[in-house]
């Protein structure tokens, strides 16, 4: 075999191998119900003994058909998340679910899911939704849309996104599916202004180009976590 041909084949093999390693492996068994209380620490949860698994490990009476209270939320939303912590049968299956109730003019504030892509379906009402791209030479581009009942929108993994009910006298409801058993959530305002211990106001004042007093006021607020 000519050296150039050998080099080309080796390069193609290396590329194919790197692509295979870069994706999540598929399950190696029918299921791996999470043993939430196991002291063993792994990326996810260790499997419960298959002989001890029963139908209840794959079931939750979540009452997702019932409206949630949004009155106590400072941002006007209430999220019911069903992930592996609530439903152990989701372990290794790469999926979770959330119901989001929005008060009139309520929002699910700008956030990112570091582990998951999200697909949102509007069940009732109207939502203004969008996501922002990562940094480019042309800045951060906003992709936004007004959704009505039955409409669907996708938020790519890791990108900052939001949902807002623009209607002043009607609530809204949506269901979101996420491509991880534990999608994670970073609410931008909470993370930046509500971290413990706080980020130095010198850092944030410089980053946001405002006076330190403005940062100190923001850090003194109560930053609500709606866990999604």
Residue whose tokens read 């492996």: 25
Residue whose tokens read 């800045």: 139
Q: Is 118 annotated as a binding residue?
A: yes
**Two tokens at 98?**
């959330």
Neighbouring-strand partners of residue 34: 47
What does the alpha-carbon distance between residue 47 and residue 14 come to, in Å, rounded to a whole number? 33
Q: Beta-carbon neighbour count of residue 197 at 10 Å?
A: 5
Q: Is 168 annotated as a binding residue?
A: no
Are 116 and 162 within 8 A, CB to CB? no
- Which of 72, 112, 80 shows the shortest CA–CA distance to 97? 80
- Which of 39, 162, 146 shows the shortest CA–CA distance to 111? 162
Residue whose tokens read 């490990």: 57
Three-class secondary structure of residue 14 per DSSP: helix
Residues at the annotated binding site for oxalate? 108, 113, 118
Residues at the annotated binding site for Mn(2+)? 113, 118, 161
Residues at the annotated binding site? 108, 113, 118, 161
């Amino acid at each position: 075999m000519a050296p150039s041909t050998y080099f080309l084949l080796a390069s193609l093999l290396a590329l194919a191998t790197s692509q295979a390693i870069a994706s999540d492996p598929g399950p190696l068994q029918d299921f791996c119900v999470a043993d939430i209380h196991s002291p063993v620490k792994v990326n996810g949860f260790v499997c419960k003994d298959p002989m001890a698994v029963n139908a209840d490990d794959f079931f939750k009476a979540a009452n997702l058909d019932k409206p949630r209270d949004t009155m106590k939320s400072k941002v006007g939303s209430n999220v019911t998340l069903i992930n592996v912590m609530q439903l152990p049968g989701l372990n290794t299956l790469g999926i979770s679910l959330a119901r989001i109730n929005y008060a009139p003019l309520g929002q699910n504030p700008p956030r990112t899911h570091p582990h998951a892509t999200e697909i949102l379906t509007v069940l009732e009402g109207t939502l203004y939704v969008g996501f922002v791209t990562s940094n480019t030479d042309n800045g951060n581009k906003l992709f936004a849309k007004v959704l009505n009942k039955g409409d669907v929108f996708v938020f790519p993994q890791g990108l900052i996104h939001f949902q807002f009910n623009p209607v002043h006298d009607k609530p809204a409801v949506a269901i979101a599916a996420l491509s991880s058993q534990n999608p994670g959530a970073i609410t931008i305002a909470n993370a930046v202004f509500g971290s413990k211990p706080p980020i130095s106001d010198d850092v944030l004042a410089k980053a946001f180009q405002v006076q330190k007093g403005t940062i100190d006021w923001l850090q003194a607020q109560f930053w609500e976590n709606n866990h999604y």
